[in-house]
């Protein structure tokens, strides 16, 4: 069965520090990969996505993610975190256009001054 | 970019009443829409897949008579929580795949339901 794992339930970083959020998926084929951010009480905002091509993708708000097929991973990174980045981050995978997404359990990010 | 709206954004109701939530794709047509449910501090769980003109497909454990889904047009899907109870209180999010092939689906802003 397909699954998406975000091993870190909660991460705390200092403002200005670098950030890496982990995401692993389990499936035979290469999926479509996404990272979303959700602020409290809000909907989902797409940060970036990967379908094919360059395995390092750039997104909004200074985020990037790298697809590593050998590790079945799609980790999200940001070189310098801002206080406004505090939110819940979800990794999601899909396997065909028009089909459902599978979401990871989310990683809650706290940014301290 | 493609926009999906949900109405209402907040709803508070008494136990036993029914609540309808609308999901609209504002600038594109969608043959497939999804309904998700999210409990506090948890991930999104797919409830059902809604296809225009046909019956929705429900995930295991989701009561189809409890959560009625209607996908009447290519831009509108509705979720009706019938005889709502406090345990139905949750954040409901819809999403839509554009008809013209695109690489992602678009999510609505969510509807928070509180059943008293």
Predicted confidence band of residue B101 (pLDDT cuts 50, 70, 90): low
Q: Are A86 and A109 in contact (CB under 8 A)?
A: yes
Q: What is the pLDDT of residues B55-88, one digit of tens each?
A: 899 999 999 999 999 988 999 999 999 999 999 9
pLDDT beyond 70 at A105: yes
CA distance B80 to chain A (A): 20
Q: What is the pLDDT of residues A62-71, one digit of tens each?
A: 999 999 999 9
A90–B105: do the CB atoms touch at under 8 Å?
Answer: no
Residue B104 sits at the chain A interface (C-beta within 8 Å): yes
C-alpha A47/C-alpha B77 separation (Å) is 26
Residues 60-89 of chain B whose Cβ lies under 8 A from any Cβ of chain A: none
Q: What is the pLDDT of residues A18-63, one digit of tens each?
A: 999 999 998 767 788 999 999 887 888 999 999 888 999 999 999 9
C-alpha A74/C-alpha B19 separation (Å) is 38
The DSSP code for A71 is G
What's the average model confidence in pLDDT over A78-105? 89
């Amino acid at each position: 069965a397909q699954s998406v794992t975000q091993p870190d339930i909660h991460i705390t970083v200092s403002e200005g520090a670098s950030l890496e959020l982990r995401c692993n998926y389990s499936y035979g084929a290469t999926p479509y990969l996404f990272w979303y951010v959700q602020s409290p009480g809000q909907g989902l905002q797409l940060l970036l996505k990967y379908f094919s091509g360059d395995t390092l993708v750039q997104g909004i708000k200074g985020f990037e993610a790298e697809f590593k097929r050998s590790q079945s991973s799609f980790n999200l990174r940001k070189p310098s975190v801002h206080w406004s980045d505090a939110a819940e981050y979800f990794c999601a995978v899909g396997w065909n256009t028009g089909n459902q997404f599978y979401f990871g359990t989310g990683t809650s990010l706290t940014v301290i001054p | 970019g493609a926009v999906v709206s949900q109405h209402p954004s907040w709803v508070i109701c008494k136990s036993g009443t029914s609540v309808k939530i609308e999901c609209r794709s504002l600038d594109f047509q969608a043959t497939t829409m999804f309904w998700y449910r999210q409990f506090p501090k948890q991930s999104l769980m797919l409830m059902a897949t809604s296809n225009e003109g046909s019956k929705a497909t429900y995930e295991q454990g989701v009561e189809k008579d409890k959560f009625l889904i209607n996908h009447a047009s290519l831009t509108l899907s509705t979720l009706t929580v019938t005889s709502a109870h406090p345990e139905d209180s949750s954040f409901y999010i819809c999403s839509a795949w554009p008809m013209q092939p695109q690489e992602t689906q678009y999510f609505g802003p969510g509807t928070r339901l509180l059943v008293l």
